[in-house]
Amino acid sequence: LELTNAYGTLAAQGNFIEAHGISRVVNQRGDVIYQADFKPKQVLDRDSAAITTWMLEGVVQGGTGGPAALSDRSVAGKTGTSEKVRDLWFIGYIPQVVTGVWLGNDDNYPTAGSSGTAAYNWRDFMSQAVKGMPVEEFPKLPKLEGRKGSIKAKPVQPNEIIRGMIVNDDGAIVPYNPNPEPRRREWQDPGYQEPTNYQEQTHYQEPPQ
């Protein structure tokens, strides 16, 4: 829901409207005891939203999101696949509607296929949902030259992550070196243990005591 909500911000030209599972609650007397706040908030300038939408249109027109294309209107969206194919995503939108499709197992067990399957499902749903809905166009792509960035962000350090040694990109333990060059460090779980055996090509060697 949150991920689909984020894409809805692009569809709404930079206006964020928080999604709610419950819009309102009424008691037996008809009194409204809860009312969700659907007030929009501009969190992204319209040009940046239009540029991002233009890029996501390209995903559907000539990329992995091709199976989501609708015959009568433009679609913007993005596929997504997590490690070991545990999650298959497609989040897509037209100017009036944003829809998210997720395929996977409740126990997080690896599945099969590709995110293109999620895109097919998105198209099957949306081809029915848009019946009778007027065709609207996305905003025109603004000039890219001379634009100043409008997004201000600061790096955020996760609360439960520490810095520590990492293994090589292929999963091998970093080779032992008595005179090591500066090594790259990344954020890691606090329970991570530094390696005691170091892989050197085809054999292991113990580090000196």
d(CA 135, CA 131): 10
d(CA 199, CA 209): 17
- Residue 139's region, left for phi above 0, alpha for psi from -120 to 50, else beta, is beta
| pLDDT computed for residue 201 by the predictor | 43
Under 8 Å between Cβ of 161 and 190: yes
Mean pLDDT (the chain) is: 83
DSSP strands (E only) in 27-86: 32-35, 41-42, 76-81
| pLDDT computed for residue 148 by the predictor | 72
- Return averaged pLDDT per consecutive 10 residues of the chain, 209 residues in all: 95 93 93 93 93 96 96 96 93 97 94 93 97 95 76 68 56 56 57 56 48
Domains within the chain, CATH numbers bracketed? 2-129 (3.40.710.10), 155-209 (no CATH)
| pLDDT computed for residue 190 by the predictor | 65
What is the 8-class DSSP label of residue 21? Answer: S
State the virtual CA torsion across 166, 169, 175, 179 in degrees, nearest 10.
-70
| pLDDT computed for residue 203 by the predictor | 42
| pLDDT computed for residue 198 by the predictor | 47
d(CA 69, CA 50): 19
Q: What pLDDT digit, counting tens, does each position of 20-64 carry?
A: 889 999 999 999 999 998 899 999 999 999 999 999 999 999 999
Q: What pLDDT digit, counting tens, does each position of 185-201 carry?
A: 555 666 666 655 544 44
For β-strands 24-26 and 76-81, DSSP reports them as: unpaired
The owner of tokens 């540029």 is: 51
pTM (2 decimals)?
A: 0.68
Side chain identity, residue 147: R
| pLDDT computed for residue 35 by the predictor | 94
Q: Would you state the structure tokens that stand for residue 184, as one six-digit string?
A: 């790259």
